[in-house]
Structure 1
Amino acid sequence: MKTLTGLYGEENNSIKKSRSLKSLRRKKFLLVSFALLFIMIFSVGTLALVYTRDQQRILEGVKVSGVDVGNLTRDDAKKIIDKEVSSLLSQTIVLSVGQQSPKVKLEDLGLALNADLALQEAYDIGRKGSIFEKVASKWSAAKGVNIDFSQEWDESKIREALKGTLDEFNDPATDATFEITKDNIMTIKNDQKGLIVDSEELLLRIKEINLYKMIPELKAEFTEQLPLITAAQLEDQKITGLLASYTTRFDPAQTARTENVKIAAKALDMAVIKPGSTLSFNQIVGERTVEGGYKDAFVIVNGEFVPGLAGGICQVSSTLYNTGLFANLAVTQRSNHDLAISYVPLGQDATVAYPDLDLKFNNNTGGYLLVRTKMSYNSITIEMYGKVKPGQEVFIGNTIDSTIPAAERRVVDETMAHGASVLKQQGQPGYVVKSIRTVKLNGVVVSNEPLKQSRYLPLPKIYAIGP
């Protein structure tokens, strides 16, 4: 007869065996499950790889601008897309301008379509991301995907096309104009308002066009255009009379110099300067050349009189300078000669050399300025006409601040007799001159303006002596 302990032992062994069998069965189940899962994942992955294999073609169901490019190579799709782009850009916009309806192609308006970018986007579908993202993209593409071109407009081309198309419909404003008669009278022709197509408003509406939903036409609106210069403005700036006149004299026997003076004076005659603009001697007269008729005559270079092209022209600029001074113009550039000259007072000359050494005034009269020149056989007169200020008088005062004595030089002349002496050059002293322009209005001094100081070098007295 078994003991109670023995019975318990057998029962425990039975329980252990049962548990061991269950554990073994569980392990087998897990192993089988893992194996099946691995096989399933491997199979799905293999199928996915096969499904998403890159065949160098755009996926089925993909369209660009509504054109089916599915299952096409990139090159074949590009040919089709290029035709679509050409077709879209050849569409025309009808511009309603009054009773007229001109047409303009989208291409001429500077429309550009991103065909290459759209093609790349179509080609990339199903080729980016993880294997599962590629699968999802392919499934989505199979349901249908359309990629539209984006539009870019070139504003400069729009403006150019509109100008070429609509200019004939514009009635632009006409500025007031004037003519100067031989009697120095300013006659004014009235201005006129205009009507022009509002191209800027039309440009904005063109940029909003959807090329996939073309509108029948765009109505061009007209806007009033005002003249830039009105008759009222010209009337306020009108030449009313003579501002100043100045005359200098020359030796007509110096024929080359006289001819140079005449050419420069003729170039200045009838010059018109707008209010606030600059009167430039070099700009008006231009470069002095042989082709222009200028001749060699004496000029001052480095304190000496030497032959040079267009000698004598500084008499014209000096005459103009004095006329400008007495017209009370603002002097913005002026240089005196190296040596004192005789045809204007000390301190009232102006030398010029093209292009940098210039004589310039600012037209500060508030009106237009007219330059007139007159020639006699031995004199030049320059007049300035403009907006006269009643009661205005101008005076120029010059003061010699210091005198620089002239040196004496003796030059041996082998052709002369021993001990002989001849004066070859009459010397002259140098000067430092201060000038003031005084302006009176109705007899009352309103300004005392210091002008640029003038400094003249001395000219040595030269004797030729025998050996």
Structure 2
Amino acid sequence: MGDVEESQVKRLNQGSEQAAATEVYGDEQNSSKREWTRSNGQRKKKYFIISGLILVLLMSIGIPLLIYTRDQHVMLQGITISGIDVGNLTQEKAKILIDHEIDRLESQTVRLNAGKQSPEVKLKDLGLVLSDASALQEAYDIGRKGSLRNKVVTKMSAAKGINFELSHTWDDQKLKDSLTRTLEGFNNPATDASFDITTQNTMIIKSEHVGLIYNPESLASLIKGLDIYKPLPEIKVDFKEQLPQLTALQLEDQKITGLLASYTTRFDSTQTARSDNVRIAAKAMDMSVIKPGDTLSFNQIVGERTVAGGYKDAYIIVNGQFVPGLAGGICQVSSTLYNTGLLANLQVTQRSNHDLAISYVPLGQDATVAFPNLDLKFNNNTGGYLLIRTKTSTNSVTIELYGKVKPGQEVLISDTTESVIPAEEQRQVDETLAHGASIVKQHGQPGYIVKSFRIVKVNGKVVSSEPLKQSLYKALPTIIAVGS
């Protein structure tokens, strides 16, 4: 009994010790857990405090920033356009103000010192064009674009002052026209040397004049370089020398010195309409002057042949037949000119022969014309001026060419008939004639192929032999009417 009690007591003691140990260890664990919980709670509390402070700080800063950058639809304080304060103004009010400034700037006058006189001209009349559209928009956009930070920065910059300039351009054509109107009277233009033709068909030369005219390019450059926002200075107009295109010395070298060639053809004065046509065309050519290197054109000089011009109906050649037509006979004038031009050694650039052979010039030496395309043309290759003189009598027309004479020059024209084309005989029945009777309704004439040459001699020596355009003349048939 006693032994049992001791063992039981021992076990109880051991259990108590274990229980005590467990209690002690458990207390330590619980204490550590409680310590971690307090620390974690303190961290959370600190985080919430800091977050709250940050939020409060952001709210204290952000709200004023939002208020600072709030759009009030006016220009920012400190913004100017062309030096005009537009701060706190709407775009509409700012435009009214700036438009007044534009009108003031464009109405400024610049004094052009042209020597004895100094006319004043408004800039807008000289082509100045100012615009405020771009400046107004750029000024209005300040503090309104980008992030909040960008808006704050640009608004702070504007407070220190930002100026926008008006855009301006120059209307070059308006500037040119305005300068011409203003300064044309101050020019002293050059004049070319000139000449008069005397009754002896010689030239009296008048000297040229060297002029002074303002320099439009230089003046326009100075005007476009003006600072329109500052008081405008006086501009001195630069005048430059203007040389004549033709001098007396040149005229002396191209001077008419005498008769180059003359040619005469004759006509039947009883054919009054044809004779009148010849005289009208010849008179139209008289006193015509052709410059060196220019073209002598019959149609250009004589012009269109019209009834109003006095021309009448007479026989002309059309499609190998003689038929009535307006201005018949003037081909005698063109043929006379052709021969004169050949003898003057002019270069032939256009010439056509008649369809049928004619009698007032040798075969191969005629020239037919019809306005406006069928023409007789020469190039004035003489190195001098040409003067055309014409004369008509009751039955003849003469054309003379005066120019720069080459001493010792002689021109000859030779023609060779290569072949003769016989005239056919055509018989036509005419019921109005008695049986076996006949009459000739049209007398025929043969056709020809003719080659021509121009031979030029100087002091008797041949210097050139030039083939001219070949002439082909059709045969005109003989037409006989016979009774049936």
Q: How does 1:11-30 map to 2 (within 5 A)?
A: 22=39, 26=43
Q: Which residue of 2 aligns with 1:224?
A: 241
Matched, 1:252 2:278: no
Q: How does 1:104-143 map to 2 (within 5 A)?
A: 104-143=121-160
Of the candidates 213, 218, 221, which is equivalent to residue 196 of structure 1?
213
Rounded Cα–Cα distance in structure 1 between residues aligned with 2:279 and 2:27: 148
Q: Which residue of 2 aligns with 1:349?
A: 366
Of the candidates 368, 381, 384, which is equivalent to residue 367 of structure 1?
384
Following superposition, the deviation at residue 18 of structure 1 comes to 5.3
Q: Which residue of 2 aligns with 1:278?
A: 295
Q: What is the root-mean-square deviation in Å for CA atoms of aligned residues?
A: 2.8
- SS across alignment from 1:367: coil
Q: Which amino acid aligns with 1:149?
A: L
Matched, 1:443 2:437: no
Q: Which residue of 2 aligns with 1:295?
A: 312
Task: Give the number of the structure whose alpha-carbon radius of gyration is greater.
Answer: 2
Superposed CA offset, 1:144-179 (max 9, x none): 222112332233322322222222222222221101
Q: Which amino acid aligns with 2:119?
A: P
- SS across alignment from 1:107: coil
- SS across alignment from 2:175: helix
- SS across alignment from 1:370: strand
- SS across alignment from 2:304: coil
Q: Which amino acid aligns with 1:206?
A: I
Following superposition, the deviation at residue 433 of structure 1 comes to 2.2
Change (3 A) 1:377 1:144: same
Rounded Cα–Cα distance in structure 2 between residues aligned with 1:42 and 1:406: 124
Contact 2:111 2:233 in 1 (8 A): yes
Of the candidates 321, 326, 344, which is equivalent to residue 304 of structure 1?
321
Q: Which amino acid aligns with 2:307?
A: V
Q: How does 1:142-221 map to 2 (within 5 A)?
A: 142-221=159-238
- SS across alignment from 1:93: strand
Following superposition, the deviation at residue 383 of structure 1 comes to 0.7
Following superposition, the deviation at residue 232 of structure 1 comes to 0.5
Change (3 A) 1:418 1:53: farther
Change (3 A) 1:15 1:441: farther
Q: Which residue of 1 aligns with 2:260?
A: 243
Superposed CA offset, 1:394-447 (max 9, x none): 112222233333222222223221211111111122222222222112222222
Return the TM-score normalized by structure 1.
0.91
Q: Which residue of 1 aligns with 2:89?
A: 72
Superposed CA offset, 1:89-117 (max 9, x none): 11111122223222111112111123323
Q: Which amino acid aligns with 1:281?
A: F
Q: Which residue of 1 aligns with 2:11?
A: none
Rounded Cα–Cα distance in structure 1 between residues aligned with 2:422 and 2:51: 122
Q: Which runs of 5+ in 2 are unaligned?
A: 1-16
Report the more deviating stretch, 402-411 or 86-95.
402-411
Matched, 1:335 2:325: no
Rounded Cα–Cα distance in structure 2 between residues aligned with 1:385 and 1:465: 56
Q: Which runs of 5+ in 1 are unaligned?
A: none
Following superposition, the deviation at residue 231 of structure 1 comes to 0.7
In the comparison of the two structures, how many residue pairs are matched? 467
Rounded Cα–Cα distance in structure 2 between residues aligned with 1:19 and 1:406: 146
Following superposition, the deviation at residue 6 of structure 1 comes to 9.9
Change (3 A) 1:421 1:63: same
Contact 2:134 2:167 in 1 (8 A): no
Q: Which residue of 2 aligns with 1:318?
A: 335
Following superposition, the deviation at residue 335 of structure 1 comes to 1.6
Rounded Cα–Cα distance in structure 2 between residues aligned with 1:457 and 1:38: 118
Superposed CA offset, 1:236-255 (max 9, x none): 11000011111111111111
Percent identity of the aligned residues? 64
Change (3 A) 1:427 1:113: same
Change (3 A) 1:427 1:73: farther
Q: Which residue of 1 aligns with 2:111?
A: 94
Of the candidates 256, 265, 282, which is equivalent to residue 282 of structure 2?
265
Report the more deviating stretch, 367-376 or 285-294.
285-294
